[in-house]
DNA sequence: CAGTATCCCCCACGATACTG
DNA sequence: CAGTATCGTGGGGGATACTG
């Protein structure tokens, strides 16, 4: 999933948005990055079960879609930080009502 | 996808909601049913490319999740109408901001 | 009309090993 | 630490045929 995978094929906005957040771990990545910027290894620990390969490819796609910013610090050992772009922040905001709906109606947590 | 597929495994509300709308055609089904109740054949025509099998299984899952109501009318030939439940209406409402985000930032349609 | 019943396929995701 | 490189797999989805 990434960057207009289906050019001009989207039926509506939700359809298009689903293509951006459609990866198995993507909304969880956004969820974590919404709190604070994270390094690769941090994200891996925050998302139990994700493999390095999948985490890397999801981050590449989110970066290509302009949702995530990748900052490389020239240090030894290597250090890379991922954070949300302003577009990513706006996406998270648009996701908030859906999160509230899920909490209330699927998880059964009222407020 | 349907009805607590991963009991107690959800990390957050968005994660849980994604499980409900995670099927390939589900948000499009919701999108159409938001306009008006539809018959099976109508939905099939409204969603070019979907097969009967997949449409049927998606509708079964949405029904099991309490999102869609299935009303059978005893006529000849058989007639079945699908509509949103109140839960489905609330889900669509929660999806609206995501749709607006997609229209604006993916499709490039400002308002 | 509104679906099942089969068979099949692809690819997103996973497991493991290795590297700058 | 932050990733690539390879190989393998499961199941969601597609094609087609058939039925109450």
Q: How many domains does chain A have?
A: 1
* Structural domain includes residue B38: yes
Query: Which residues contact residue B29 at a Cβ distance below 8 angstroms, ignoring those fewer than 6 apart?
Result: B43, B47, B55, B58, B59, B62, B68
Q: Does residue A92 contact residue A84 with C-beta atoms inside 8 Å?
A: yes
* Structural domain includes residue A51: yes
Q: How many angstroms is C1' of D9 away from CA of B28?
A: 29
Residue A14, pLDDT above cutoff 90: yes
* Structural domain includes residue A3: no
* Structural domain includes residue B24: yes
Distance between CA atoms of residues B1 and A107, nearest Å: 16
**Where is A40: in which H helix or E strand?**
helix A40-46
* Structural domain includes residue A89: yes
Q: Does residue A67 contact residue A88 with C-beta atoms inside 8 Å?
A: yes
Q: How many angstroms is C1' of C12 away from CA of B24?
A: 13
Residue A111, pLDDT above cutoff 60: yes
CB contact under 8 Å between A4 and B107, yes or no, is no
* pLDDT computed for residue B4 by the predictor: 61
Confidence of residue B110 (pLDDT cuts 50, 70, 90): confident
Residue A68's domain spans which residues?
Answer: 8-105
Q: Does residue A90 contact residue A79 with C-beta atoms inside 8 Å?
A: no
* Structural domain includes residue B111: no
A52-85: burial string, b at 16+ Cβ within 10 Å, e else: eeebeebbebbbebbbbbeeeeeeeeeeebbebb
Confidence of residue B9 (pLDDT cuts 50, 70, 90): confident
Residue B2, pLDDT above cutoff 60: no
CB contact under 8 Å between A94 and B91, yes or no, is no
Query: Which residues sit close to strand C, CB under 7 Å?
Result: A 1, 22-25, 49-54, 58, 77-78; B 39-42, 52-53, 56, 59-60, 70, 77-80, 82
Q: How many angstroms is C1' of D12 away from CA of B20?
A: 15
Tell me the residues of chain A between 67 and 106 that have a Cβ less than 8 Å away from chain B.
Answer: 87, 90-91, 93-106
- What's the per-residue H, E or C state across chain B? CCCCCCCCCCCCHHHHHHHHCCCCCHHHHHHHHHHCCEEHHHHHHHCCCCCHHHHHHHHHHHHHCCCEEEEEECCCCCEEEEEECHHHHHHHHHHHHHHHHHHHHCCCCCC
Query: Is the pTM of the predicted complex or chain greater than 0.75?
Result: yes
Give me the mean pLDDT over the A30-43 stretch: 98
Nearest to A17 by CA among B21, B69, B78, B55: B21
pLDDT tens sequence across A85-103? 999 999 999 999 999 999 9
* pLDDT computed for residue A4 by the predictor: 61
Residue B61, pLDDT above cutoff 70: yes
Residue A1, pLDDT above cutoff 60: no
- For chain A, say whether B40 makes contact (Cβ under 8 Å): no
* Structural domain includes residue A110: no
Whichever domain contains A55, its CATH number is: 1.10.10.10
Residue A3, pLDDT above cutoff 70: no
Give me the mean pLDDT over the A29-34 stretch: 98
Confidence of residue A5 (pLDDT cuts 50, 70, 90): low
Residue A82: beta bridge partners?
A38, A70
Give me the mean pLDDT over the B70-90 stretch: 96
SS3 state of residue A39: strand
Give me the mean pLDDT over the B23-51 stretch: 97
* Structural domain includes residue B2: no
Give me the mean pLDDT over the A56-70 stretch: 98
């Amino acid at each position: 999933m990434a960057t207009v995978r289906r050019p001009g094929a989207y039926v509506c906005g939700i359809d298009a948005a689903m293509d951006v957040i459609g990866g198995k771990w993507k909304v969880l990545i956004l969820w974590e990055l919404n709190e604070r910027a994270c390094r690769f290894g941090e994200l891996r620990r925050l998302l139990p079960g994700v493999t390095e390969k999948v985490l890397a490819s999801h981050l590449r796609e989110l970066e290509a879609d302009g949702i995530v910013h990748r900052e490389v610090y020239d240090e030894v050992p290597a250090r890379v930080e991922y954070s949300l772009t302003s577009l990513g922040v706006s996406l998270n905001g648009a996701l908030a009502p859906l999160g509230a709906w899920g909490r209330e109606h699927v998880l059964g947590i009222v407020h």
